[in-house]
């Protein structure tokens, strides 16, 4: 118990170092098949192929962000208008004497009068004046935002550099792990099997995640286009990208599209249709398809995935939501091959693993 608490504290305390490392390792797992294919088919060296792939990804991301600047700026302009429209609607509701809000306001006034009459003026004590809140300086916010942007860019450069070195190293790290794993052939064989399982399972999970995000974005695009929301293609693309962040990404998309629909459509029925269609798609893809495919290809149960997202999201925030499932997949692959840790693999896995006594006897044979 103390060791587990110490490990959790270490993971939280060293998150500034561990998160970039895990991001670079995830990028390596995602891009290694492409770099290997470039080295075999077109005969492009690994160093050049890795640089080419990373440059294409960074360039494509920068181009996409630049292309979506106008839509993002238009979205920021719509937020104040949505607030004004909501305020006007609330005022009209408050002026309606026959409405529910008016009745609640009248009831609250009567309760206040009764409470005032029950309180004696002699016992009432004057309230102390509230201190005036200090007005934050705009320059402080600008300085904080600029510093955060600079730190984010520095971390991105570190992650890309580390991912590049991992890509060009190939299987060198794997061979070193096999050499130091033990003196017997059995231990070396188990180490090779663990590393191969981690590679295959994480790559399949990342492939499933990318496919599910593409499917989610396409379905959102089609649903919003049918409803008639302006910029349906933009919202579909944004939904596909943000779907990579479990739970938080789809929630942001639903809220933003709800605001846009509230401004565009005169009635609340269309707004409810937009939000309801996205909620339905999120439920089908995020809570139906993704857990099923993860359990099928990643060998971990849907309950494990959900708990892993809760734990790593609490520990590392958004980055924990991105990296939690691959970390648990690697843990499951290790525990499945080590006889003493097979009970943990049994808890994490979506299917039963071999009995520890049988697997130990098989390893001895």
Query: Domain of 89?
Result: 13-95+148-170
Over 50: is that where the pLDDT of 134 sits? no
Expressed in angstroms, the distance from the first to the final Cα of the chain is 34
DSSP assignment of 263-288, as one string?
HH-SSHHHHHHHHHHHHHHHHHIIII
The CA-CA-CA angle for residues 239, 22, 338, to 5°, reads 115
Q: For the chain, what is the mean pLDDT?
A: 79
Go through 67-80 and write b for each residue having 16 or more CB atoms within 10 A of its CB, e for each that does not.
Answer: eeeeeeeebeebee
Same domain, 157 and 199: no
Residue 260 shares a structural domain with residue 304: yes
Tell whether 356 is covered by a domain.
yes
In a domain, 292, yes or no: yes
Are 333 and 201 within 8 A, CB to CB? yes
Residue 123 counted as domain residue: no
Q: Are residues 364 and 267 in the same domain?
A: yes
Q: Is residue 124 scored above 50 in pLDDT?
A: no
Q: What is the mean pLDDT of residues 180-208?
A: 84
**Total structural domains within the chain:** 2
Residues 269 and 354 in one domain: yes
316 shares a domain with 238: yes
Residues 250 and 319 grouped into a single domain? yes
Poorest-confidence range of 144-148, 279-283, 296-300? 144-148
Per-residue pLDDT reduced to its tens digit, 245-285: 877 888 888 988 888 888 888 878 888 898 999 999 988 88
Q: How far apart are CA 249 and CA 73, in angstroms?
A: 19
pLDDT digits (tens, 9 = 90+) for 203-254: 888 888 888 889 999 999 999 988 888 888 888 888 988 888 877 888 888 9
Q: Do 359 and 269 fall into the same domain?
A: yes
Lowest model confidence (mean pLDDT) among 17-31, 60-74, 274-288, 319-333: 60-74
Q: CA 21 to CA 245: how far, in whole Å? A: 18
Residue 121: per-residue pLDDT: 52
User: Do residues 162 and 29 both lie within one domain?
Assistant: yes
Helix (H) or strand (E) holding 152: helix 138-169
Is the C-alpha dihedral spanning 323, 294, 208, 53 positive or negative? Answer: positive
Q: What is the mean pLDDT of residues 163-192?
A: 83
- Give the residue from 6, 27, 2, 22 showing the smallest Cα distance to 312: 22
Q: Identify the pLDDT of residue 75.
A: 65
Where does the pLDDT of residue 295 fall: very low under 50, low under 70, confident under 90, or very high at 90 and above? confident
> Is 156 found in the same domain as 207?
no
- Lowest-pLDDT range of 79-93, 97-111, 286-300, 325-339: 97-111
31-57: average pLDDT: 88
Between vectors from CA 58 to CA 166 and to CA 315, what angle results, nearest 5°?
Answer: 65
pLDDT of residue 11: 92
**pLDDT over 70 at 99, yes or no:** no
pLDDT score of 54 more than 80: yes
Same domain? 357 vs 209: yes
Angle formed at CA 191 by CA 205 and CA 180, multiple of 5 degrees? 130
């Amino acid at each position: 118990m103390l060791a587990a608490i110490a490990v959790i504290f270490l993971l939280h305390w060293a998150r500034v170092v561990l998160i970039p490392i895990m991001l670079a390792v995830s990028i390596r797992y995602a891009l290694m098949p492409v770099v290997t294919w470039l080295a075999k088919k077109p005969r492009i060296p690994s160093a050049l192929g890795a640089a080419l792939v990373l440059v294409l990804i960074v360039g494509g991301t920068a181009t996409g962000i630049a292309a979506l600047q106008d839509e993002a700026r238009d979205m920021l302009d719509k937020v104040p208008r949505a607030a004004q429209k909501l305020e006007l609607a609330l005022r009209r509701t408050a002026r309606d004497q026959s409405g529910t809000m008016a009745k609640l306001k009248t009831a609250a006034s009567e309760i206040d009068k009764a409470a005032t009459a029950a309180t004696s003026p002699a016992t009432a004590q004057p309230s102390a004046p509230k201190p005036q809140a200090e007005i934050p300086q705009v320059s402080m916010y600008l300085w904080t935002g600029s510093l955060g942007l600079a730190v984010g860019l520095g971390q991105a450069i570190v992650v890309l550099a580390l991912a590049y070195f991992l890509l060009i190293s190939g299987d060198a790290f794997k061979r070193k792990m096999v050499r130091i794993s033990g003196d017997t052939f059995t231990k070396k064989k188990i180490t090779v099997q663990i590393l191969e399982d981690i590679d295959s399972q994480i790559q399949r999970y990342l492939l499933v995640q990318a496919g599910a995000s593409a499917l989610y974005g396409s379905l959102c695009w089609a649903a919003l286009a049918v409803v008639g929301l302006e910029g349906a293609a933009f919202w579909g693309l944004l939904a596909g990208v943000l779907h990579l962040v479990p739970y938080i990404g789809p929630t942001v998309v639903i809220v933003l599209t709800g605001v846009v629909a509230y401004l565009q459509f005169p009635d609340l029925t269309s707004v409810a249709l937009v939000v309801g269609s996205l909620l339905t798609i999120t439920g089908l893809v995020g809570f139906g398809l993704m857990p099923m495919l993860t359990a099928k290809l990643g060998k971990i149960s849907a309950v494990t995935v959900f708990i892993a997202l809760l734990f790593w999201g609490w520990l590392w925030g958004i980055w924990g939501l991105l990296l939690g499932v691959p970390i648990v997949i690697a843990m499951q692959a290790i525990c499945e091959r080590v006889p003493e840790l097979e009970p943990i693999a049994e808890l994490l896995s979506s299917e039963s693993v071999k009995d520890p006594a049988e697997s130990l006897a098989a390893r001895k044979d």
